[in-house]
């Protein structure tokens, strides 16, 4: 325990010193000193008026597309999962199909879809199909994983099928479902970066723009933000997972 | 206790869903996918002064700066302007103009004329090229305003050291050493009569390059030239590296490359709807613009990595237009 | 060939025509050439990763404390988006006279292949029946002998599974190199998107999928040939019920390849 604390303290110190040093450097700079092309040009990030707004807009675009794809994917996956749970024989073909969708290379899928649909539609279709495998699998595993004894107890209490689903099976399936949502979301964040090749903006376009103007800073900032977004969403979902299963925590403590 | 926690979690989830819903709602209003939906009510030629004039640049820095310059000036004059993100080159932009998805572009006389009238004869004379353009535009329902003296011609550039080593001063000088020369350019160069097709045409230059490499038009292209990944690049006469002497422009001895003055091109409905005021505003900018300005802009965007909007704003302020 | 003929030569009317008529590929290079570029990039990266990660994972699997190093190694490949790695490396590579390829894409692909190969080997070796290891030691095998003649073969199904996942991921991601000045099958996608050439984009997409699928099938076949029936994943083994076997999920992950 104490070793970990020491390490954490050291890391915090390094980060703190680094932050102070960076701030000092920024204070000494101005927009005029732009003759070089260093790895990160801090002035562009912090001093230029429009940059924070542009970065925020790019992040928001990225987030919107991610959430939309995961949302639609979740709805579709729930439907497929419901079918698979009700008619057990459909589960292997459904898994095979969603698994196949997952295998299709993303650049190729975007490419082909964009020749038939508009850019946004193509991106959404592709992004949604990549989420289906993990979501269907987790929803089914979650609900099917509820112990038989609990289901019987609920039936014994006289609950209707729907009531049982909503008040017993779903809450118990939540951890697995949220875990699936978590993986799907993080994966989608990465894939949205690729949609920049079909001009869908977001943080991926920062990276491409940076490359086209041979400008390191944009590329580094773009990818740092997209990694940051993925990490933030991951944390959000892991918190949600913990918050939604209070009984697991009580059992553990 | 646990109920409260559950509720908080539920609220968090609802918030996430709310963001989703917001995303769905917002999607229609972001301009990044404006190329997809049909323009609503813009082709009707109504005289609403709140109607937006949509400009679109081509996918390279100079075009973006030009669009920003004209766009910001018009905005300052009171017009409602929307500057769309660049989606490609002339081949992608003109269909948008024809379909009514965009209203105005800032183009180059010769290249536009070549695009619309590929069988015509290119000319190095600015007036001739402009007339050729006007004639071609008439059939498309588009109209051009006065052209500026500022010019940015397409040019075949080479590293000065390489050109001197191989004794190359004109484009025809490439033919004897064509196996050593990889040509680099934007992807659309491969289908243009004043680019790869013209160089390959046995009736004009008849050069078979070792390879054609498609790259992003801009610093990526010049970096490739610097690194000797490509030996010749189809680039622009306003490139900063030409000013510094690093690159040389090969002489166009067969007259393939035409004059390329800056000219605003727009849909005739929009021109009619706004009339002389709009023309005057555009002409004001065109009159003030010089080729040196274009070079200076490119130094700003390509060397100093500044954003086109900032370069445009700075120039407008300096020249007293803003 | 007059200019008119040059202009008229590129108007295929369908995907099939684009694929079969070689005149359509005057600008973007022949299909076998580009396919080979993509394939050899992926193979080279995979070879490097297998040669370095498999021994490393086998060795690390013996040390409990190496858990941290393992997670670190795995996350390196997932942390930075491949797109950024390729882009930045191309800029660096150009500045140092190394050209557009192959180094940037090779390095990016190596980073990408690290997680699946390493994780699967690590888990595979960890999951080897301790009874078998004890028996081997009892027979007098040295530690190295145990590693190479007992653990490696027993972990083979998982290792091959990891290699298969990695191969498909790599083939799916390699096309991104073309967007940064490289060649390979991605060039068809890049040029097609840039020129608005529908059939070229479709052809590129179809070819990438075909190559990835072929690799997947070939490796599946290889697995079937190399792995004895008794060791195949899912095969019932004596003592299964009493032993908890952790089996990592290794689905084909062509999508996440391009993602991370």
| 3-class SS of residue B142 | strand
Which residue would you say has higher pLDDT here, A249 or B24? A249
d(CA A88, CA A82): 10
User: What percentage of chain A carries pLDDT values higher than 70?
Assistant: 84
Copy the structure tokens of residue A165.
Answer: 């689903």
B186–C194 CB contact, under 8 Å:
yes
Cα C26–Cα C27–Cα C29 angle in degrees, nearest 5: 75
d(CA B303, CA A44): 14
Domains in chain B (CATH in brackets) are 52-151+260-318 (3.40.190.10), 154-249 (3.40.190.120)
Q: Model pTM?
A: 0.78
> Which 3-state string (H, E, C) describes A214-243?
CCHHHHHHHHHHHHHHHHHHHHHHHHHHHH
Instruction: Determine how β-strand B104-108 pairs with β-strand B262-267.
Output: antiparallel
**Does the residue C66 lie in any domain?**
yes
Residue C37 has pLDDT above 70, yes or no: yes
Residue C248 has pLDDT above 70, yes or no: no
Q: How many Å lie between the alpha carbon of B159 and the closest alpha carbon of chain C? A: 15
List the B262-267 sheet strands across, edge first.
B80-83, B52-55, B104-108, B262-267, B142-144
d(CA A224, CA A47): 18
**Does the residue C15 lie in any domain?**
no
Which residue would you say has higher pLDDT here, B33 or A3? A3
Task: Tell me which chain C residues have a C-beta less than 8 angstroms from the C-beta of B200.
Answer: 6
Instruction: Report the number of secondary-structure helices (H) and strands (E) in chain B.
Output: 12, 10
**Residue B10: per-residue pLDDT:** 58
Q: How confident is the model at residue A167 (pLDDT cuts 50, 70, 90)?
A: confident
**Does the residue C20 lie in any domain?**
no
**Residue A107: per-residue pLDDT:** 87
**Residue C242: per-residue pLDDT:** 47
Q: How many Å lie between the alpha carbon of B135 and the closest alpha carbon of chain A? A: 33
Residue A145 has pLDDT above 70, yes or no: yes
d(CA A199, CA B85): 9
Could you count the other beta carbons within 10 Å of the beta carbon of residue B41?
9
**Does the residue C67 lie in any domain?**
yes
d(CA C53, CA A122): 37
Lowest mean pLDDT among B141-150, C188-197, C203-212, C250-259: C250-259
pLDDT in tens, C39-84: 999 999 999 999 998 888 888 887 776 677 777 767 666 667 788 8
Task: Tell me which chain A residues have a C-beta less than 8 angstroms from the C-beta of B32.
Answer: 61, 199-201
- Give the residue among A75, C184, B181, B161 at the shortest CA–CA distance from B171: B181
CATH assignment at residue C214: 1.10.3720.10
Peptide bond into A143 cis (omega under 30): no
CATH assignment at residue A128: 1.10.3720.10
Residues 6+ apart with CB under 8 A from B322: B72, B73, B76, B313, B316
**Does the residue C186 lie in any domain?**
yes
What residue numbers bound the domain in which C82 lies? Answer: 30-232+249-259
- Exposed, middle or buried by CB within 10 Å (0-12, 13-18, 19+), for A18? exposed
Task: Tell me which chain C residues have a C-beta less than 8 angstroms from the C-beta of A130.
Answer: 255
The radius of gyration computed from the CA coordinates of chain B, to the nearest angstrom, equals 23
pLDDT averaged over 10-residue windows placed end to end, chain B, 322 residues = 55 59 43 38 44 90 94 92 86 86 92 86 88 89 91 92 90 90 88 86 88 88 88 92 88 88 92 88 92 92 88 92 81
**Does the residue A57 lie in any domain?**
no
**Does the residue A131 lie in any domain?**
yes
**Does the residue C214 lie in any domain?**
yes
**Does the residue A15 lie in any domain?**
no
**Residue A205: per-residue pLDDT:** 87
d(CA C151, CA C62): 11
Copy the structure tokens of residue B45.
Answer: 């030629």
Q: Contact at 8 Å (CB) between A175 and A141?
A: no
Residue A32 has pLDDT above 70, yes or no: no
| 3-class SS of residue B261 | strand
**Does the residue A133 lie in any domain?**
yes
Beta bridge mates, A66 = none
**Does the residue A25 lie in any domain?**
no
Chain B neighbours, 3+ Cβ pairs < 8 A = A, C
Could you give the maximum distance between any two Cα atoms of chain B, in Å? 86
Instruction: Determine how β-strand B262-267 pairs with β-strand B182-185.
Output: unpaired
CA distances from B9 to A174, B13, B22, B73, C250 (A): 12, 6, 20, 50, 32
Task: Tell me which chain C residues have a C-beta less than 8 angstroms from the C-beta of A128.
Answer: none
Please give the residue of chain A at the shortest CA–CA distance from B299.
A35
d(CA C53, CA C59): 10
**Residue A52: per-residue pLDDT:** 83
Could you count the other beta carbons within 10 Å of the beta carbon of residue C219?
18
Please give the residue of chain B at the shortest CA–CA distance from C195.
B188
**Does the residue C21 lie in any domain?**
no
Whether the CB of A108 is below 8 Å from some CB of chain C: the reply is yes
When pLDDT is averaged across residues C164-175 and rounded to a whole number, the result is: 90
When pLDDT is averaged across residues C91-120 and rounded to a whole number, the result is: 85
Residues 6+ apart with CB under 8 A from A227: C79, C80, C81
The radius of gyration computed from the CA coordinates of chain C, to the nearest angstrom, equals 22
Residue A154 has pLDDT above 90, yes or no: no
Residue C15 has pLDDT above 80, yes or no: no
Q: How confident is the model at residue C250 (pLDDT cuts 50, 70, 90)?
A: very low
B13–A240 CB contact, under 8 Å:
yes
**Residue B9: per-residue pLDDT:** 55
Report how many domains make up chain C: 1
DSSP, res B77: T
| 3-class SS of residue B232 | strand
Q: Contact at 8 Å (CB) between B83 and B71?
A: yes
User: What percentage of chain C carries pLDDT values higher than 70?
Assistant: 78
Q: Contact at 8 Å (CB) between B147 and B290?
A: no
B35–A119 CB contact, under 8 Å:
yes
Beta bridge mates, C204 = none
C window 2-41, beta carbon within 8 A of A: none
Residue C36 has pLDDT above 90, yes or no: yes
Residues 6+ apart with CB under 8 A from B253: B170, B171, B172
Q: What phi and psi values does residue B312 have, to the nearest 5 degrees?
A: -60, -45
**Does the residue A40 lie in any domain?**
no
Which residue would you say has higher pLDDT here, B234 or C260? B234
d(CA A56, CA A58): 5
DSSP, res B8: H
Task: Kindly give the residue spans of alpha helices, DSSP state H, lying in chain A.
Answer: 2-28, 42, 51-86, 91-103, 106-114, 119-144, 148-156, 161-164, 170-194, 203-212, 216-243, 246-252
Task: Tell me which chain C residues have a C-beta less than 8 angstroms from the C-beta of A7.
Answer: none
pLDDT in tens, A171-192: 888 888 898 898 899 888 888 8
B188–C195 CB contact, under 8 Å:
yes
What residue numbers bound the domain in which A194 lies? Answer: 63-252
**Does the residue A127 lie in any domain?**
yes
Site of tokens 């080729």: B291
d(CA B27, CA A126): 17
**Residue C79: per-residue pLDDT:** 67
| 3-class SS of residue B289 | coil
**Residue C24: per-residue pLDDT:** 67
Site of tokens 């030409």: B242
Closest CB to C94: pick one of B193, B203, B224.
Answer: B224
Q: How confident is the model at residue C235 (pLDDT cuts 50, 70, 90)?
A: low
When pLDDT is averaged across residues A117-136 and rounded to a whole number, the result is: 90
Report how many domains make up chain A: 1
């Amino acid at each position: 325990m104490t070793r970990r604390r020491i390490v954490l303290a050291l890391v915090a110190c390094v980060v703190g010193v680094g932050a102070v040093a960076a701030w000092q450097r920024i204070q000494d700079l101005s927009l005029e000193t732009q003759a070089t092309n260093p790895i990160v040009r801090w002035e562009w990030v912090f001093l230029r008026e429009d940059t924070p707004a542009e970065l925020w807009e790019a992040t928001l675009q990225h987030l919107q597309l991610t959430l939309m794809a995961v949302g639609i994917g979740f709805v579709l996956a729930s439907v497929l999962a419901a079918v698979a749970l009700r008619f057990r024989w459909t589960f292997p073909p459904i898994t095979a199909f969603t698994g196949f969708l997952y295998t299709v290379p993303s650049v190729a899928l975007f490419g082909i879809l964009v020749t038939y649909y508009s850019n946004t539609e193509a991106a959404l279709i592709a992004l949604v199909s990549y989420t289906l495998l993990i979501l269907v699998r987790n929803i089914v595993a979650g609900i099917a994983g509820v112990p038989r004894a609990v289901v019987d107890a609920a039936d014994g209490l006289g609950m209707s099928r729907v009531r049982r689903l909503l008040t017993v099976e779903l809450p118990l399936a939540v951890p697995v479902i949220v875990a699936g949502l978590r993986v799907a979301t993080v994966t989608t964040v990465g894939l949205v970066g690729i949609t920049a090749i079909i001009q869908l903006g977001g943080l991926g376009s920062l990276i491409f723009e940076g490359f086209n103007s041979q400008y390191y800073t944009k590329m580094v900032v773009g990818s740092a933000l997209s990694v940051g977004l993925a990490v933030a969403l991951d944390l959000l979902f892991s918190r949600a997972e913990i918050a939604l299963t209070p009984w697991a925590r009580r059992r553990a403590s | 206790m646990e109920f409260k926690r559950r509720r908080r979690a539920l609220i968090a989830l609802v918030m996430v869903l709310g963001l989703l819903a917001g995303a769905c709602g917002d999607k229609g209003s972001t301009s990044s996918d404006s190329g997809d939906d049909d323009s609503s009510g813009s082709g009707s030629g109504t005289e609403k002064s709140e109607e937006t004039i949509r400009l679109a640049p081509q996918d390279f820095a100079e075009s973006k700066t030009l669009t920003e310059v004209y766009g910001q000036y018009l905005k300052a004059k009171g017009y409602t302007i929307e500057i769309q993100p660049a989606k490609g080159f002339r081949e992608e932009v003109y269909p948008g103009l024809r379909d009514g998805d965009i209203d105005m572009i800032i183009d180059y006389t010769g290249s536009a004329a070549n695009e619309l009238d590929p069988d015509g004869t290119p000319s190095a004379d600015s007036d001739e090229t402009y007339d050729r353009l006007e004639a071609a535009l008439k059939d498309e329902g588009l109209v051009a305003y006065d052209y500026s003296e500022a010019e940015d011609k397409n040019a075949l550039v080479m590293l000065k050291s390489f050109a001197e080593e191989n004794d190359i001063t004109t484009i025809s000088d490439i033919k004897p050493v064509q196996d050593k020369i990889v040509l680099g350019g934007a992807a659309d160069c491969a289908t243009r009569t004043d680019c790869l097709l013209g160089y390959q045409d046995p009736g004009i230059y008849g050069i078979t390059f070792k390879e054609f490499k498609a790259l992003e038009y801009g610093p990526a292209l010049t970096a490739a030239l610097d690194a000797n990944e490509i030996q010749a690049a189809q680039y622009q006469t306003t490139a900063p590296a030409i000013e510094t002497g690093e690159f040389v422009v090969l002489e166009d001895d067969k007259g393939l490359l035409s004059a390329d003055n800056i000219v605003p091109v727009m849909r005739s409905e929009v021109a009619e709807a706004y009339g002389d005021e709009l023309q005057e505003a555009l002409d004001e900018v065109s009159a003030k613009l010089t080729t040196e300005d274009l070079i200076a802009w490119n130094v700003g965007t390509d060397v100093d990595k500044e954003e086109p909007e900032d370069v445009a704003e700075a120039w407008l302020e300096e020249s007293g237009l803003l | 060939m007059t200019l008119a003929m040059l202009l008229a030569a590129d108007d295929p009317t369908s995907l099939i025509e684009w694929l079969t008529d070689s005149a359509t590929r005057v600008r973007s290079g022949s299909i076998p050439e580009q396919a080979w570029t993509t394939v050899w990039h992926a193979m080279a990266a995979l070879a490097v990763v297998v040669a370095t990660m498999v021994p490393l994972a086998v060795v690390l699997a013996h040390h409990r404390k190496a858990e941290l190093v393992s997670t670190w190694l795995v996350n390196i490949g997932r942390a930075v988006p491949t797109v950024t790695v390729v882009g930045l490396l191309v800029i660096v590579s150009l500045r140092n006279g190394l050209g557009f390829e192959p180094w940037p894409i090779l390095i990016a692909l190596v980073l990408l292949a690290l997680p699946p190969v390493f994780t699967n080997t690590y888990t595979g070796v960890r999951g080897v029946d301790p009874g078998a290891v004890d028996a081997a030691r009892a027979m007098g095998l040295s530690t190295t002998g145990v590693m190479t003649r007992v653990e490696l073969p027993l972990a083979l199904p998982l290792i091959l599974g990891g290699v298969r996942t990695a191969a498909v991921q790599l083939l799916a991601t390699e096309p991104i190199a073309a967007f940064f000045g490289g060649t390979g099958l991605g060039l068809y996608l890049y040029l097609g998107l840039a020129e608005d050439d529908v059939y070229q984009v479709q052809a590129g997409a179809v070819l990438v999928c075909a190559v990835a699928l072929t690799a997947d099938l070939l490796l599946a076949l290889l697995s079937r040939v190399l792995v004895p029936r008794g060791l195949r994943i899912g095969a019932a083994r004596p003592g299964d019920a009493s032993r908890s076997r952790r089996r990592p999920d290794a689905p084909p992950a062509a999508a996440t390849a391009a993602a991370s």
